[in-house]
């Protein structure tokens, strides 16, 4: 079963630090802030998510990446990440529901997570199925580390 491996927040910038639980509202996770609100945050980019399996694969390639280092709020374990696409929904056991709104565009602020500062390594157009994603909040509430999550495919 898929689950929340890590919840990460920061007062701006990366890396984001781990917390055990967080309240989720229309603007994202309580305690999380973005330095660049033109490109990050807001209702359509309220929550950033990434797959633990992709992070582990990137570490296997020699990149110094880890959960929270690329700015994601939720590191998810056990989902078929290539199916996490715009229009898909993530339904968490505690009632929170997110809808994927877009793939992220990697920026230079996450460069230290990559060998040779090659932050484009997680660009969807170049490496399909290995991008972080943004989500809008359909139903807010509380999230906890270890909580189960299921994927509802786009259009279901």
What pLDDT was estimated at residue 43?
Answer: 85
Q: What is the average pLDDT value for the chain, to the nearest integer?
A: 94
Report the percent of the chain where pLDDT is more than 70. 96
Longest dimension (CA), the chain: 41
Burial profile 28-65: b = 16 or more Cβ within 10 angstroms, e = fewer: bbeebebeeeeebbeeebbbbbbbbbbbeebeeeebeb
What pLDDT was estimated at residue 42?
Answer: 77
Total residue length of the chain: 156
Cβ–Cβ contacts within 10 Å for residue 129, how many? 13
**pLDDT greater than 90 at residue 36:** no
Q: What is the pLDDT of residues 44-80, one digit of tens each?
A: 999 999 999 999 999 999 999 999 999 999 999 999 9
**ω before 100 within 30° of 0 (cis)?**
no
Q: What is the pLDDT of residues 71-112, one digit of tens each?
A: 999 999 999 999 999 999 999 999 999 999 999 999 899 999
Locate tokens 């709020």: which residue? 73
Q: What is this structure's pTM? A: 0.95
Residues 139 and 96: beta-carbon distance below 8 Å: yes
Report the percent of the chain where pLDDT is more than 90. 88
CATH superfamily of 3-152: PK beta-barrel domain-like (2.40.33.20)
């Amino acid at each position: 079963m898929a689950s929340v491996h890590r919840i990460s927040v920061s007062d701006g910038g990366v890396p984001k630090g781990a917390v055990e639980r967080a309240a989720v509202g229309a603007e994202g996770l309580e305690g999380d802030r973005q330095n660049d609100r033109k490109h990050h945050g807001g209702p359509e980019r309220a929550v950033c998510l990434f797959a633990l399996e992709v992070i582990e694969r990137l570490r296997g390639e020699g990149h110094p990446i880890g959960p929270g280092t690329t700015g994601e709020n939720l590191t998810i374990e056990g989902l078929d990440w290539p199916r996490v696409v715009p229009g898909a929904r993530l339904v968490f056991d505690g009632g929170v529901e997110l809808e994927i709104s877009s793939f992220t565009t990697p920026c230079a602020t996450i460069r230290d997570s990559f060998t040779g500062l090659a932050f484009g390594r997680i660009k969807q157009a170049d490496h399909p199925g290995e991008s972080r994603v943004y989500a809008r909040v359909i139903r807010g509430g509380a999230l906890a580390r270890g909580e189960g999550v299921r994927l509802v495919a786009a259009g279901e």
